[in-house]
A and B are shown apart, each in its own frame.
Chain A
């Protein structure tokens, strides 16, 4: 068994022997050094490290999947799902802007995947055909405030074909004075249609507002479709 130092001396002696013959021993070592000693140049290393960090950031980011339902009475509907359910729905937007906006908002990599949203599209199809009155889907609302979650979930109790008012919603939540806050929470509904904020109107019966698609026009279309108007 060779001690490390002795071994190195052996290798060196062997190389020296070759070198003394003006042969390839020393020449071999210096030729090896000529090829390998310097290593990659600093810029290339830096670039490789940057690419590595980008690649890893991509791997670590959560993934979201989206798909488009093109033909609907209210225009194209974009659906975003994650591993824990439906994350967002947007109506009548531009695909490129939509995907990058969703990516930024959720700090996620957004990938188009028709398969992942097929189940949601099927239920929406049935809804538009009048064959479905409620949706059986997991909704991801964890990023929202507790109050906004409460408001949005409360709208799920309003059946298809019926409407209510912001004031009535506030009263149901035990916060009579908070009709305006309810209105604001509904205006920022990330999953319209599935969370039927369109069924909530102003207390004078006016449609008030709708953030999806073409605004009030889309809200009216949905309520007409449901037979509420």
Chain B
């Protein structure tokens, strides 16, 4: 029974940030909610086997990363790589004349993010928006800290080149 109580505390403490991570990885898509449930169901089933000393936050992020990758795969099969642009994500711009152009830029950027390898996208979101340490990210991605850093670096480098390529082809 104590594990049930402890797991309630885990939900209370981490479900918000895990949801924001899934929202980012899944581009605000409506299946983020389903994915959150799947993550915590998996965690719940494995919770009793978890080492008392384990880094629960990193462990949850690891489950969330793996689950979100399979959700993305399912969605890609379902929507045949059609890009999902949520209006919530494409934030409104002040000037209406700029709106179309800036929306187009955001669309290009999101397309580029969608085309990143899963590990690079995860590493970028974990570092930049979830604000995890490279020690945690290396645990989540089961790699060395150097490799975790390299994934963030490569993600940014790739985004830059994909976005500038697209933009120059527009001009």
The 10 A-B residue pairs with the shortest CB-CB distance in the complex, in nearest-first order: A39-B20, A40-B23, A48-B33, A55-B37, A48-B19, A49-B15, A31-B109, A24-B164, A36-B24, A35-B89
Q: Roughly how many angstroms separate A65 CA and B58 CA in the complex, as a whole number?
A: 38
Q: Roughly how many angstroms separate A48 CA and B33 CA in the complex, as a whole number?
A: 6
Does A59 contact B44, Cβ atoms closer than 8 Å? yes
Does B105 contact A31, Cβ atoms closer than 8 Å? yes
Write the B43-82 contact mask toward A (1 if CB under 8 angstroms, else 0): 0100000000000000000000000000000000000000
Write the A44-65 contact mask toward B (1 if CB under 8 angstroms, else 0): 1101110111011001100000
Q: Roughly how many angstroms separate A36 CA and B88 CA in the complex, as a whole number?
A: 10
**A46 and chain B: residue at smallest CB distance:** B16
Q: Roughly how many angstroms separate A82 CA and B90 CA in the complex, as a whole number?
A: 51
- Contacts A36-B129, A48-B32, A49-B19 given: A11-B160 contact, CB under 8 Å? no
Interface centre among A10, A23, A47, A52 (most CB of B within 10 A): A52
Q: Roughly how many angstroms separate A200 CA and B91 CA in the complex, as a whole number?
A: 75
Q: Say whether chain B's binding surface is mostly helix, strand, loop, or mixed.
A: helix
**Is the interface on chain A under 10, 10 to 19, 20 to 34, or 35 or more residues?**
35 or more
Q: Roughly how many angstroms separate A203 CA and B130 CA in the complex, as a whole number?
A: 76
- Is A18 part of the contact surface with B, judged by Cβ < 8 Å? yes
Does B24 contact A15, Cβ atoms closer than 8 Å? no
**A47 and chain B: residue at smallest CB distance:** B33
Does B36 contact A52, Cβ atoms closer than 8 Å? yes
- Is B140 part of the contact surface with A, judged by Cβ < 8 Å? no
- Is B123 part of the contact surface with A, judged by Cβ < 8 Å? no
Give the total of B residues in contact with A, Cβ under 8 Å: 39
Does A28 contact B159, Cβ atoms closer than 8 Å? yes
Partner pick for B15 among A11, A35, A36, A52, CB 8 A cutoff:
A52
Partner pick for A32 among B15, B109, B146, CB 8 A cutoff:
B109
Partner pick for A51 among B37, B106, B109, CB 8 A cutoff:
B37
Does A35 contact B149, Cβ atoms closer than 8 Å? no
Does B159 contact A52, Cβ atoms closer than 8 Å? no
- Contacts A11-B156, A53-B11, A60-B4 given: A39-B40 contact, CB under 8 Å? no
- With a cutoff of 8 Å between Cβ atoms, the chain B residues found around residue A204 in the complex are none
Does B20 contact A55, Cβ atoms closer than 8 Å? no
- Is B167 part of the contact surface with A, judged by Cβ < 8 Å? yes
- With a cutoff of 8 Å between Cβ atoms, the chain A residues found around residue B28 in the complex are 40
- Is A157 part of the contact surface with B, judged by Cβ < 8 Å? no
- Is A96 part of the contact surface with B, judged by Cβ < 8 Å? no
Can you pick out 8 interface pairs between chain A and chain B where the beta carbons lie within 8 Å of each other?
A2-B149, A23-B164, A28-B160, A31-B106, A36-B125, A39-B20, A51-B33, A55-B37
- Is B141 part of the contact surface with A, judged by Cβ < 8 Å? no
**B45 and chain A: residue at smallest CB distance:** A59
A142, chain B: closest CB distance, angstroms = 17
Enumerate B1-34 residues with CB–CB distance to A below 8 Å. Answer: 4, 11, 15-16, 19-20, 23-24, 28, 32-33
- With a cutoff of 8 Å between Cβ atoms, the chain A residues found around residue B33 in the complex are 47-48, 51
**A15 and chain B: residue at smallest CB distance:** B156
Q: Roughly how many angstroms separate A25 CA and B159 CA in the complex, as a whole number?
A: 10
